[in-house]
Amino acid sequence: MDSAEIIFQYFPHLTPAQKAQLEKLRSLYELWNDRINVISRKDVGNLYVNHVLHSLAIARIVEFKPGAHIMDVGTGGGFPGIPLAILYPDVKFHLVDSIGKKITVVKEVSTGLGLSNVNAQQIRAEELRSQYDFIVSRAVTRLKEFHGWVKGKVKSDSVHSIQNGILYLKGGDLEEELAELKRPMQIFNIPDFFNEPFFETKKVVYVPM
């Protein structure tokens, strides 16, 4: 079974409070996953590598600035939003999913961690009228369809090291899928950041908007 130590190795400047929150993630997800299945049973033992560290690959692309507003679309059990919210306590995260049970888990885990910067909502991204600095997600659908869901929901004024846009966690052979979108994008290979075999084919796709 993996542990939060793997996160501390890659992110050595975490505060004691952040470390405590990350360590608490396992017990919270084990508790809630028994009631509402948001992580496959066989995968709970790999929580820190397959879910938490995977989510934090986004932090290797851009460092969110205090006051930034980030939306996590199709958050499921809270990935990548909750790990990012722990890493960036001064950033506002809006975690949305169309399935109410999953949002229940997100709310309970956020409350259990004392995260005041997470707003979890059962809603489809297409229904929202807000705008965000970045929209993050973990492989909820093909990228062309995802882009259609979030078009118009990215602020035009960029204050980060990269232009505002989509940061999308995806795996496998993406050549055909990415060609469908017909937009400029940049592909980051997660093995350039993290050494674990799980990340062998995993990528962060950045689409400026």
Residue 31: band (very low, low, confident or very high) from pLDDT cuts 50, 70, 90? confident
- The answer to whether the pTM exceeds 0.85 is yes
Q: How far is CA 50 from the centre of its chain?
A: 12
Domains and CATH numbers, the chain: 5-208 (3.40.50.150)
Provide the pLDDT for residue 44: 75
Residue 1: band (very low, low, confident or very high) from pLDDT cuts 50, 70, 90? low
Q: 139-157, pLDDT tens digit by residue?
A: 889 999 999 999 999 999 9
Provide the pLDDT for residue 86: 98
Q: 127-142, pLDDT tens digit by residue?
A: 999 999 999 999 889 9
Residue ranges of the alpha helices (H) in the chain?
Answer: 5-10, 16-35, 54-56, 81-87, 100-113, 143-150, 175-181
